[in-house]
Structure 1
Amino acid sequence: MSGESDAAGRRGLSRRGLLGLAAGGGAAALALAGAGGFALGSRGARSDEAADVHPFFGAHQSGIVTAVQEHLHFAAFDMMPRSDRDDLIELLQDWSYASARMTQGLEVSATGAVGGPAEAPPDDTGEALGLKAAALTITIGFGPTLFENDDGDRYGIRDRRPARLERLPAFVGDDLDPAQSDGDLCIQVCADDPQVAVHAIRNLSRIAFGRAKLRWSQLGFGRTSRTSAAQQTPRNLFGFKDGTANILADDAAALAEHVWVGEGDGPDWLAGGSYLVARRIAMLIETWDRVRLSEQQRIFGRDKGEGAPLSGGAESDAPVLARLDAHSHVRLAHHDGNNGIRILRRGFNYVGGNNELGRLDAGLFFLSYQRDPAQFVTLQRALSTDLLNEYIRHVGSGIWAVPPGAQQGSFVGAGLFD
């Protein structure tokens, strides 16, 4: 990543942002700690994919309907206790400026990793030097506690909180770790090169120094959904094709109905945005691996090899729900059995080494976008008797309002402060 271009249409990072680059590092280091070294290994992106560049500015934030990339670095942040409204606005401006540059394959500032004074810390950490943009997308969201928490209305935006933005209710199978859940802000970074994804979170964490601190983060690999008809349906770590019936980017009607917040949904500043739900779902890999094939297929309701529904037909054929086990995953989750409710899935596999019992710490980092959080809540409650629940645990959770895309010369979330 090199070159000089004010991709954000602004003069550059704020003084606080530049100080963060000079003084930050602890939070960024924590973002990588314990996440597993697998993500920084061999890069599997094809050369044509690695050259992809997605614009940061536009009607919607990229990273929602964008063709799902191969790698993820997700991070949740909490604002510092003494931060004020100006700190929040300035942070979002700085994040937008740096994101607009990085998504174009540039460094976070014009001086970058090697163009500044030799006796000062570089603005950019430099591990993405020479790498292409790799289809990098950066998506920013606002959690319920940004609008109000135990300290009250910190930023004067309580009355602008979306009525539907509330902490998710408890679900069957929840064993949530508070340290791996929630957050005032979130950043979803996706790319076809894992080092490009890590570079983005690392530098955005540095920029936030003194204004926001990292709460938790998650690395992901091997997408478990698709948003483009050109993409093949991927597999999860249980070996089954995942997300066959996902909403695709070219289905404008479905996106308008199920994903994008409408003009009349309220509040006005969120129109064109969406709601993001993140769930860290641990898979009991060793237990699952001892289950016979026929039982695995009955649990999912699909053929393991081809992905076709057990009711017959090909993978893309709609399942005949009455022919599936009443508690199979497909029967309970499919929109035909849930009054047509759909969500846009954008999940990734994860592996974090072994746990204290010597078992694989692995699972699905589930991400979904929906017009109304009630869509996710309805579907998740429908899965309360899912046969799959015996083999999974929900250990992390969060919800954020994702504003519409920023306009050239502005920043993500600007409408919230109008």
Structure 2
Amino acid sequence: MTTGRGDVAMGEHGDQATRGTQAERGGRMSRRKLFGLGAAGVAAVGAGAVATRSLLEEPVAQAASTSDPVPFYGEHQAGIVTPAQDRLHFVAFDVITDKRAELVELLQEWTAAAARLTQGKDAGTFGAVGGSPEAAPDDTGEALGLPASGLTLTIGFGPSLFDDRFGLKAKRPAALADLPKFPGEQLVPEISGGDICVQACAHDPQVAVHAIRNLARIGFGKVSVKWSQLGFGRTSSTSRAQATPRNLMGFKDGTNNMKLEDAQLLRDHLWAAGDDWMAGGTYMVTRKIRMTIETWDRTSLSEQEAIFGRDKGAGAPLGRKAEFDTPDFNATGPDGQPYIKADAHVRLAHPSHNGNAHLLRRGYNYVDGSDGLGRLDAGLFFIAYQRDPRTAFVPVQTNLAKHDALNEYIKHVSSGLFACPPGVRDAGDYWGRALFA
């Protein structure tokens, strides 16, 4: 989604005029060490991260540079409020075993592999070259010599996992209610839904692809890939340390996104509360939104800005001067008409027009080649986290789907909904353990 902040089809969440931007942090890439922390050492790193979080009230899982690792263990999963990395490999799996014990075993194996991969290590004990020459390697090897690159792996469970196969039906959260059908969407079932998703984010695309490839390899015979998506050029900032990026329509995207520094907003609108297995978790919505790039590129600048309700260059709300200025929806121009029209994206997506609904957006641009007519198959892979989609994503998207002028240039072709459990506490824990207790 885009706001003149540029949230293509889902924007303007958490208006805070005082936010500033800083240059994004970078760092020289060091060679990946082929040795690393043992389970006890990684657990110690996790314990330190948890202690730091308790002082700051909210997790600030981040690397010092783009080559460094992000802590894996903690109260919440990394890859949510972690400063958004540059690259994405997202995958949705279907579970093909009907044995609960095998699913639990897979989650344990995946967690152990994820703990290693996110720290810049190989997926298995013997790695890509250290095992028996007669056996398949424990790691596929394409990330040998590469640093951790800020890799995070975030898991979620789809509504379809809570059927009769694994005895989980009674544990399906109310907030994991199926999304309604929105006006105008053209969803393709083959690239929607899924029993389990894994979001891999990193600053190096090869590191992200390597992680997903190895999880799929470990899951052979228990899960199958339903669909996947590569993304580049993040379309939102999740930290004030990050500059605001642009989407493929050329507008700044994510200006007023919730940030990891917004402790109160995160408590109120991001993390699930209560005493069930989702406490400390959150809910993820994904939407693949294709843009009609060629039509958009022939649209006048004034019309583009009117559609978003923002200046294309500076990102300021129309009628204001700076990107982080609060939109004034009542301000009128010399002609007596509102600067920000009734069908402008920034107005329709703003919390003040959606019952104070807030999302933490974490989307990416995508280009999947071209179609048979020579048009770019490109757009936004939208990802948003929230405490409850019924009171956050659903009302905002309903408003946009009915009224947004941007709808002439976009179409939703894929959708996903997932319950993301809380973080893994230590080396004895695993993804979703409380769900299967």
TM-score, shorter chain, exceeding 0.5: yes
- The root-mean-square deviation of aligned C-alpha atoms, in Å, is 1.4
Among candidates 86, 94, 112, match of residue 78 of structure 1: 94
Q: Deviations over 1:165-197 (max 9, x none)?
A: 122111122100100000000000000000000
CA contact (8 A) 2:67 2:203 kept: no
Among candidates 65, 72, 76, match of residue 56 of structure 1: 72
2:245 maps to 234
Aligned amino acid, residue 208 of structure 2:
A
**Per-residue deviation, 1:48:** 6.4
Aligned amino acid, residue 414 of structure 1:
R
CA contact (8 A) 1:5 1:110 kept: no
Alignment of 1:415 onto 2:434: yes
Alignment of 1:225 onto 2:236: yes
**Per-residue deviation, 1:407:** 1.4
**Per-residue deviation, 1:120:** 1.7
Under a length normalisation based on structure 2, what TM-score does the superposition of the two structures give? 0.84
Among candidates 57, 71, 89, match of residue 104 of structure 2: 89
Alignment of 1:389 onto 2:397: no
CA contact (8 A) 1:143 1:401 kept: yes
Alignment of 1:400 onto 2:418: yes
Aligned amino acid, residue 146 of structure 1:
L
1:25 maps to none
- Mapped to 2, the partners of 1:200 and 1:155 lie a distance apart of 26
Q: What are the equivalent positions in structure 2 for 1:178-257 lying under 5 Å apart?
A: 178-257=189-268
- Mapped to 2, the partners of 1:57 and 1:157 lie a distance apart of 25
Q: Deviations over 1:74-106 (max 9, x none)?
A: 0000000x4211011111101100000000000
1:20 maps to none
Q: Deviations over 1:28-72 (max 9, x none)?
A: xxxxxxxxxxxxxxxxxxx96332211111100000000000000
- Mapped to 1, the partners of 2:384 and 2:253 lie a distance apart of 13
SS in 2 for 1:77: strand
1:22 maps to none
Greater mean alpha carbon deviation, residues 293-302 or residues 116-125: 116-125
Q: 1:196 to 1:7 in 2, by over 3 A?
A: farther
Q: What are the equivalent positions in structure 2 for 1:303-322 lying under 5 Å apart?
A: 303-322=311-330
CA contact (8 A) 1:84 1:155 kept: yes
Among candidates 119, 129, 143, match of residue 114 of structure 1: 129
For structure 2, list consecutive stretches of 5 or more residues without a partner in the other structure: 1-31, 43-62, 331-337
- Mapped to 2, the partners of 1:341 and 1:397 lie a distance apart of 20
SS in 2 for 1:164: helix
- Mapped to 2, the partners of 1:123 and 1:330 lie a distance apart of 48
Under a length normalisation based on structure 1, what TM-score does the superposition of the two structures give? 0.87
- Mapped to 2, the partners of 1:255 and 1:313 lie a distance apart of 28
Q: 1:8 to 1:225 in 2, by over 3 A?
A: farther
2:56 maps to none
- Mapped to 1, the partners of 2:264 and 2:115 lie a distance apart of 29
1:330 maps to 346
CA contact (8 A) 1:271 1:404 kept: yes
1:130 maps to 145
CA contact (8 A) 1:93 1:412 kept: yes
SS in 1 for 2:123: coil
**Per-residue deviation, 1:281:** 0.2
Among candidates 362, 386, 393, match of residue 376 of structure 1: 393
For structure 1, list consecutive stretches of 5 or more residues without a partner in the other structure: 11-46
- Mapped to 2, the partners of 1:48 and 1:59 lie a distance apart of 20
1:29 maps to none
SS in 2 for 1:89: helix
SS in 1 for 2:268: helix
Instruction: Percent identity, please.
Output: 58
SS in 1 for 2:107: helix
Aligned amino acid, residue 226 of structure 2:
R
**Per-residue deviation, 1:239:** 0.1
1:26 maps to none
SS in 2 for 1:331: helix
1:159 maps to 170
- Mapped to 2, the partners of 1:5 and 1:69 lie a distance apart of 23
Among candidates 116, 141, 156, match of residue 156 of structure 2: 141
Aligned amino acid, residue 292 of structure 2:
L
Q: Deviations over 1:210-237 (max 9, x none)?
A: 1110000000000000011010110000
Aligned amino acid, residue 133 of structure 1:
A
CA contact (8 A) 1:281 1:393 kept: yes
- Mapped to 1, the partners of 2:127 and 2:183 lie a distance apart of 48
Q: Deviations over 1:3-33 (max 9, x none)?
A: 15434889xxxxxxxxxxxxxxxxxxxxxxx
CA contact (8 A) 1:4 1:106 kept: yes
SS in 2 for 1:269: coil
Among candidates 26, 31, 35, match of residue 3 of structure 1: 35
Q: 1:48 to 1:262 in 2, by over 3 A?
A: closer
- Mapped to 2, the partners of 1:7 and 1:380 lie a distance apart of 43
